[in-house]
Amino acid sequence: MAKVKKKLTTAQKRARKRTKEENQKKYLWVFLNGKQVKIKRPPMIEGIDADEYIQQNADPIWLHQNGLWEYIKDEGEKHEADTEDRDKR
């Protein structure tokens, strides 16, 4: 005979629901090689990807100290970007 399945108590249901919500915040489901897999979500700061946040808010000294030289803009690049923004307005 088949085993009778026990029903969950309300406390167990709440705990299961809470862990499910936490896992949805932590992990992201994607398809890799035709299979659905769970990967960790990228870190977010104020709803923006961490790398994008750093690019927008970091000063050149901090970027240099942390080895992120590819994000440092030269004076010529800043000037060109400013003129492009003014031209668009």
Average confidence (pLDDT) over 10-38:
95
Model pLDDT, residue 69: 87
Rounded to the nearest 5°, which phi and psi values hold at 3? -75, 135
Residue 6 has pLDDT above 60, yes or no: yes
Q: What is the tens place of the pLDDT at every residue in 31-62?
A: 999 999 999 988 888 888 888 888 888 888 98
| Cα-based torsion angle of the residue sequence 54, 58, 63, 65 in order, rounded to the nearest 10 degrees | -120
Model pLDDT, residue 57: 86
